[in-house]
């Protein structure tokens, strides 16, 4: 029985691994980049630090400050994805829908840094949403489920192989003794 289970598991394991190869490579590759995103400024701009801690500039001052940064192309609130307020560092990160990030001093609105933020794109690649509408739910989720099944079939193969080796060793020792 264990030989049939092992053979079935091995065949299932092989075909599943071929079926999910590309999505799994994409997830692993992008996941590795996300693990080291804070180590490389090219992936994610480093967070600056400014004097002061409580934000005191107005929303109007934020818009005025980012409009002075031509490369960011952030001209109105409709261009902005989110504000990330870091009171402990005294900054406000203004993240644009175009993936540009402008870091401002939270007390006087001074522009501390302007950089392109690549981690948002890498995150979208990682979860599959970058490829097409529905890839996250209809391609990457099933690939994750199949990867879990692949892990289970790998455990079955490991268990049946170890069990078989143990039995062979046991029978050999019985024949000698």
Considering the entire predicted model, what is its pTM?
A: 0.74
Domain map (residue ranges) of the chain: 1-39+124-177, 45-117
Determine the 3-state secondary structure of 118 from DSSP: coil
**CA–CA distance, 145 with 45 (Å, rounded to integer):** 34
Domain 45-117 has CATH 3.10.450: yes
Question: Residue 118: its pLDDT value, please?
Answer: 94
3-state secondary structure of 115: strand
Around Cβ 160, how many Cβ atoms within 10 Å?
Answer: 19
Nearest to 64 by CA among 32, 30, 98, 104: 104
Task: Spell out where the chain has E strands.
Answer: 80-86, 91-96, 100-105, 111-116
Query: What confidence tens digit (pLDDT) does each residue in 115-147 have?
Result: 999 999 999 999 999 999 999 999 999 999 999
């Amino acid at each position: 029985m264990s030989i049939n289970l092992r053979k079935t598991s091995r065949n299932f394991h092989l075909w599943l691994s071929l079926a999910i190869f590309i999505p799994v490579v994409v997830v692993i590759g992008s996941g590795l980049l996300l693990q080291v995103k804070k180590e490389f400024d090219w992936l994610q701009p480093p967070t600056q630090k400014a004097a002061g801690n409580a934000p005191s500039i107005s929303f109007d001052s934020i818009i005025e400050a980012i409009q002075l940064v031509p490369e960011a192309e952030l001209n109105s609130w409709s261009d902005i994805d989110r504000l990330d307020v870091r009171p402990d560092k005294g900054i406000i990160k203004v993240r644009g829908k175009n993936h540009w990030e402008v870091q401002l001093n939270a007390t006087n609105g001074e522009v501390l840094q302007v950089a392109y933020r690549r981690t948002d794109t890498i995150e979208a690649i990682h979860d599959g949403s970058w490829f097409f509408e529905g890839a996250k739910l209809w391609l990457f989720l099933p690939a994750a489920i199949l990867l879990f099944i692949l892990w289970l079939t790998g455990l079955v193969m490991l268990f049946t192989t170890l069990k078989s080796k143990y039995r062979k060793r046991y029978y050999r020792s019985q024949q000698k003794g």
